[in-house]
Amino acid sequence: MPVFIDTYQSLLKQCILENILLIIVSKKQSVNDILTLYHVGQKDFGENYVQELVEKQGQLPTDIRWHFIGHLQTNKVKYIAPFIHLIQSVDSISLLLEINKQAIKNNRIIHILIQIKIAIDDSKTGLLIQDLDSFLNEAKNCSNVIINGFMGITSLTNNEEQIKKEFYILYTLFNKYKSTPFNILSMGMSNDYTIAIKTGSNLIRIGSLVFGTR
Ligand SMILES: *Cc1c(COP(=O)(O)O)cnc(C)c1O
């Protein structure tokens, strides 16, 4: 598979100028292609599948910051708990509690984002906004979890107005809770990151733009 270094570097430049954290989504990409980007300075990578992540983590430099961005089953938290940098896809109280439990076991603090459901299609997961308060209440008892913000995925559509609307919902919610350390708004992938940045995102998750289509 190709790695589009020029595209990566111009994207990175934009992100630095606008104070946005660039996560390179390396799911289904080879260890070698990840290393190519690592060697030009990229340290934050996102993965969707636990087994794939654990295998790659074992083969790659230890200063890579791994972000988990896929649907996470509670029974698999234990495999990533020893090293994960940020779990961006926490969408239920049971998952939160399991992450806290595994964080304690590993004597670590685990940082998370709450994935909020903003897409109107049923296929996209995420915590419903109406369940946010009870989630945050539970989180008060989680000694080893720090919530750093929100993550959202828009509907699979080309309708820019719809995408804008969905990002805006999360941006508005984020502004209600924004503080230290609740200061990350993870919105935007290859096809919608421009709109996401305009709508206040400060972390984008980019795969196919840099690696080509999977
Ligand atoms: C795959 C994935 C991405 C990257 O998608 P691209 O369209 O390849 O940029 C970003 N976020 C999540 C949650 C993903 O699953």
To test the pocket of ligand 1, the residue of 50, 69, 201, 203 to mutate (highest count of ligand atoms within 8 Å of its CB) is 69
To test the pocket of ligand 1, the residue of 1, 21, 25 to mutate (highest count of ligand atoms within 8 Å of its CB) is 25
Quote the CA–CA distance of 76 and 102 in Å, as a whole number. Answer: 10
Q: pLDDT higher for 58 or 212?
A: 58
CB of 153 sitting under 6 A from ligand 1: yes
pLDDT digits (tens, 9 = 90+) for 5-28: 999 999 999 999 999 999 999 999
CB of 206 sitting under 6 A from ligand 1: yes
Q: The pTM is what?
A: 0.98
DSSP bridge partners of 145: 110
* Nearest protein Cα to ligand 1, atom 4: 207
Quote the CA–CA distance of 125 and 202 in Å, as a whole number. Answer: 21
Per-residue b or e along 12-35, where b marks 16 or more CB atoms closer than 10 Å to that residue's CB: beebeeeebbbbbbbbebeeebbe
Residue 108 has pLDDT above 80, yes or no: yes
Quick one: what percent of the chain has pLDDT higher than 90? 95
CB of 189 sitting under 6 A from ligand 1: yes
pLDDT digits (tens, 9 = 90+) for 41-58: 999 999 999 999 999 999
Q: Sorting pLDDT into bands at 50, 70 and 90, what band is 125?
A: confident
CB of 207 sitting under 6 A from ligand 1: yes
CB of 80 sitting under 6 A from ligand 1: no
**How much distance in Å is there from the Cα of 89 to the middle of ligand 1?**
12
